[in-house]
Amino acid sequence: MTPPSAPFIEQSGTLDTDQIRTEAVPLAGLIGLFVGLALVPFLGVFLFGGTTGLGFVFALATQFVLAVGTGVVLIYVVARGVQLADQ
């Protein structure tokens, strides 16, 4: 019985750049989505000033969006890694 091939490695032992690119595009899109969502409240910090109460709320909202986005991206990476390992 032959061992299963490792993800992102071709039979010759070199990197499978096509598979890497295929996996990187949706991941980059997911990261870009949350960065774009975080820019909305971040612009509020500049409009209302970082020292005012409203600017502070916008800064907290920006950090919250980035924290949730980081969690979603990490969950996606782990889930996709499990899927690739099972193939």
Instruction: Identify the pLDDT of residue 25.
Output: 95
Q: Along the 87 residues of the chain, how does pLDDT read in single tens digits? A: 455 667 788 888 888 889 889 999 999 999 999 999 999 999 988 887 767 788 888 989 999 999 999 999 999 999 998 998 887
Instruction: Identify the pLDDT of residue 1.
Output: 44
Instruction: Identify the pLDDT of residue 87.
Output: 76
Q: Is 58 exposed, middle or buried (0-12, 13-18, 19+ CB in 10 A)?
A: buried
| Whole-angstrom distance, CA of residue 28 vs CA of residue 3 | 31
